[in-house]
A and B are shown apart, each in its own frame.
Chain A
Amino acid sequence: MKAPQRVPLLTARGITKAFGPVTVLRDVGFDLRRGEVHSLMGENGAGKSTLLKILGGIHRADEGEILLGETPVAIPDPRAAQRHGIALIHQEPLTFPDLDVAENIFLGHDRNASFFSLINWRRRYAEARALLDSLGVKLDPRAKVFGLSIADQQMVEMAGALSQKAEVLLMDEPTASLTPDEVRQLFAIVRRLRDQGTAIVFISHRLEEVFEISDRITVLRDGRHVATRERSETRVDEVIRLMVGRPLSSFYEKSAVKPGKPLLEVRQLARRDRFQGIDLEVRAGEIVGMAGLVGAGRTDVARALFGIAPATGGEIVVEGRAVTIRSPADAIRLGIALVPEDRQQHGLLPPFSIAQNISAASLGQLFPNSWIQPKRETAAAETFRTQLKIVSRDARQETRELSGGNQQKVVLAKWLQTDPTLLILDEPTRGIDIGAKQEVHHLMNELSKQGKGILLISSDLPEILGMSDRIIVLCEGRVTGRFSRAEATPEIIMAAATGHKEAAR
């Protein structure tokens, strides 16, 4: 064997992975050295998490190979990953709330455990204690995991990884829900493990964190490997440029529309610990972009405005009238529409036909006497099918058979059918192909020309920059930046979104 620094501990080559019609990784290469922290960076949907899950045995790559040292290995399931000394720490900790800390550390991880092996509790607690001590964590091994903070649960998972003597630690956005103090503590542990020779892959959206902890940084964009840099040889602005990548092409252009009267005014909107003090205004013909990282509270604001998880404080004024929105039905009555972020979970009724999906939010308007008239339903759907160019056999085709982009158009059509005055679009182009994306942008322009207001939530920076008249940026549930179209650049938005203070002002 050669010197460990020469041969990487783990190498992935030509990794390709598609989910249905969407290819999320294309021919990605990646290598990991012993004793380094290697960060994966990229916008949402760049394929970071998928790559991690392939290495951790949760997904299987369609093509490509993974080598440990110089030996190719197969990682068909999480158990195989464990056997190869690879541990995956999920964004949401995979813990058993009813069981205690020690059990959460060891269950399923003990490679020698057989069906009937006995548990020596005293030893188990002692070993758990030792592992937690080695991490410098003050947790009682006998405490139930139920009720522990996310940070503590992560420590439990880290201890579990240690118990397997994992050489490779994959961490998917471990800091997403941690406080700054907790992040500091986590990083201390990560450094200690690195110094002991563990190889760590780290995903975070927060640039500062990445630059603080990483030895190397790999940037992915649209499922492709863009660059790998030594941290010492790169800078924040270069990484942002690599992530944002493509030039802002013309099809992101918002047509100039003279803003009309205010459609929506929001003052000091708050919901418990989700977001506070949100001020916001959307005028007729205007597109307001809401930028921020995943978990910054953008979707929570949208859900509050739509009555799914109503606001607990603040004021909402719709077309000059103060209103309370307690349910989606309330919001629809006020002319508000929400195209949700999670199309499969919240937007679509997959086994329903196109026509049935399009009518779903306006059944009362379409059929005032409660009697379904399939002809009227189909006719309404046909209009949108041609107008939005929904590629399909006919309006009776089931929506689960459509591609992501066409599914999204069906969801959009569902809301256009309600004839809203204000549309909230939460990640309207995520996971759909370029052509469909362009059509969605075209539609947004059309709608604003008709005098509708749009609140656009997007993690796609070029989209936000190209399509918005104004942009507000959220970070940790608060507004951290407001920019006009002229002021906004990718760098200052990213900076405000990551709470990078110097760059923000």
Chain B
Amino acid sequence: MAEKLLRFRELGIVAFTLVLIGVAALVEPRFIEWENLRNILRYIPLIVVVAMGQMMVIVSRNIDLSVGSTLGFSAIVVGNLFIQYPDLPLWAAALVATLIGAGLGAFNGLLVAWLNIPAIIATLGTLSIYRGLVFLISGGRQVDPNHIPTGLIQLSQTSPFGIPWLVIFAAGVALATFLFLRFVQTGREIYAIGSNPGAAALRGIAVRKNTFLVFTVCGALAGIAGLMFASRFGYVNPSDTGVGFELVVISAVIIGGTNVFGGSGTVAGTLTGCLLLGVIYVGLAVLGISAFWQLAIYGLAILLAVTFDTLIQRRLGKTKDGSDML
């Protein structure tokens, strides 16, 4: 029965997304024009890449609130590198972005796994530390579009077979996450830790090492997403790039059926969550509804998803409390 309800959940989100597209198309036929669909396709990869990391963190019974700041951090560093070294090859920029993200994520992991600071508090702290560092590094100055290499911009515009490079990259990240969580021993241990941390420790699973690992990976993905932001929007602004992005990503993951108390969550479900948020984002714009609705919708979505999941679990007699998450 549990399986059935959960499958119903994923299908429900896909169905809801389709209904949303249908309604939008009825009200505003332009919505299903290719240009708009491409717009959705260009927004979603950013969410997907970070959501994959966040999903792994949440599966391990933690949370990372600092992803938006991490994203901003790597974007501003890479942006400033472009100002100083206009000929910086893209692969080097990507490497730098990933390493910066990994470093910041590793710091989160250190705080949670070894200093025993609850993930929510630790990453609430680093959320502001990393954002503050963004300002210190940049001196508050924006990286203007003329400094972003055209090669980078083109990644989100040119497309083999009509699919933007960013989409292909995000698909690759999703596939890699799927393979890691499915076929690598460590991936399975992450589920075990989130499912029953006490049992995991008693069975000799390296809880700390794995916790550290997921935070590092999540940070690395947020780092690379910083570069994607620069590619998608063509500029980097210290007070804008990545601000509030953690809510978008967490909403996507939770809507995608990942249990906030850890232990379960799928790549496919997370993708549906990202799809729904992408459609809402573009849909609001096309329908002429102010983008101000977005935040409220995300908040409502988190509450609905958590309530729904908790009630289902209670119905199934599975009692797992999240008190140790705090």
A residues contacting B by CB (< 8 A) are 58, 77-79, 82, 94-99, 103, 107-110, 113-119, 121, 144, 146-147
Contact = CB atoms under 8 A, between A and B. Distances in A.
Contact of A96 (B185, B259, B263, B318): B263
Interface in B200-215: 200, 202-205, 209
B196 A113 contact: no
Contacts of B199: 94-96
A440 B189 CA distance: 48
A301 B82 CA distance: 72
18 contacts: A94-B196, A94-B198, A95-B196, A96-B196, A97-B195, A97-B318, A97-B320, A99-B191, A107-B203, A108-B203, A108-B205, A113-B185, A119-B184, A119-B185, A119-B188, A121-B183, A146-B318, A147-B316
Nearest to A107: B192
Interface in B1-38: 1-3
Contacts of A115: 185-186, 209
A99 B204 contact: no
Contacts of B2: 144, 146-147
Contacts of B196: 94-97
Given A82-B204, A96-B192, 20 more contacts: A58-B202, A77-B204, A78-B203, A78-B204, A94-B199, A94-B202, A96-B191, A96-B200, A96-B263, A97-B195, A99-B263, A107-B188, A107-B203, A107-B205, A108-B192, A108-B200, A114-B185, A119-B182, A121-B182, A121-B183
Contacts of B263: 96-99
Contacts of B202: 58, 78, 94
Contacts of A98: 191, 194-195, 259, 263-264
Contacts, number: 81
B183 A94 contact: no
Contacts of A146: 2, 316, 318
Nearest to A111: B204
A393 B26 CA distance: 78
A101 B23 CA distance: 43
A92 to B, nearest CB: 10
A440 to B, nearest CB: 33
Interface in B229-285: 259, 263-264
A117 B183 CA distance: 8
A203 B192 CA distance: 28
B183 A119 contact: yes
Contacts of A95: 196, 199
The interface centre, meaning the residue of B1, B185, B186 with most chain A CB atoms within 10 A of its CB, is: B185
Nearest to B59: A98
A82 B263 CA distance: 24
A117 B259 CA distance: 26
Interface residues of B, number: 29
Nearest to A116: B184
Contacts of A117: 184-185
Contact of A103 (B188, B259, B264): B188
A58 B199 CA distance: 12
Interface string B169-197: 00000000000001111101101101110
Contacts of A110: 185
A168 B318 CA distance: 32
A107 to B, nearest CB: 5
Contacts of B264: 98
Nearest to B202: A78
A146 B182 CA distance: 19
A464 to B, nearest CB: 32
B249 to A, nearest CB: 22
A118 B185 contact: yes
A109 B196 CA distance: 16
A96 B197 CA distance: 9
B8 to A, nearest CB: 16
Nearest to A108: B203
B254 to A, nearest CB: 16
Contacts of B259: 98
A119 B209 CA distance: 20
Contacts of B205: 107-108
A311 B292 CA distance: 50
A95 B263 CA distance: 12
Given A98-B194, A144-B2, A109 B203 contact: yes
Contacts of A96: 191-192, 195-196, 199-200, 263
B188 A99 contact: yes
A99 B203 contact: no
A422 B316 CA distance: 37
Most chain A beta-carbon contacts within 10 A, residue among B188, B194, B263, B316:
B188
A119 B191 CA distance: 14
A58 to B, nearest CB: 7
Contacts of B189: 107-108
A378 to B, nearest CB: 33
A396 B34 CA distance: 74
B135 to A, nearest CB: 37
Contacts of A114: 185
B90 to A, nearest CB: 28
Nearest to B265: A98
Chain A CB within 10 A, most for which of B184, B194, B204, B316: B204
A11 to B, nearest CB: 24
Contacts of A58: 202
A119 B180 CA distance: 10
Nearest to A118: B183
Contacts of A121: 182-183
Contacts of B316: 146-147
Contact of B185 (A79, A94, A97, A116): A116
Contacts of A107: 188-189, 192, 203, 205
A302 to B, nearest CB: 21
Contacts of B191: 96, 98-99
A116 B1 CA distance: 33
Contacts of A79: 204
A103 B3 CA distance: 17
Contacts of B318: 97, 146-147
A105 B292 CA distance: 50
A360 B2 CA distance: 42
A109 B192 CA distance: 13
B56 to A, nearest CB: 14
Contacts of A147: 1-2, 316, 318
A144 B196 CA distance: 14
A115 to B, nearest CB: 6
Contacts of B203: 78, 94, 107-109
Contacts of B1: 147
Nearest to A110: B185
A115 B186 CA distance: 6
Contacts of B182: 119, 121
A78 B205 CA distance: 10
Interface centre among B199, B263, B264, B316 (most CB of A within 10 A): B199
A97 B259 CA distance: 13
Contacts of B188: 99, 103, 107, 119
A130 B201 CA distance: 27
A103 B191 CA distance: 10
Which of A95, A97, A98, A115 has the most B CB atoms < 10 Å from its CB? A98
- In the A-B complex, the 9 residue pairs with the closest CB atoms: A108-B203, A79-B204, A98-B263, A94-B199, A96-B195, A98-B195, A98-B264, A117-B185, A108-B205
Contact of A108 (B183, B195, B204, B320): B204
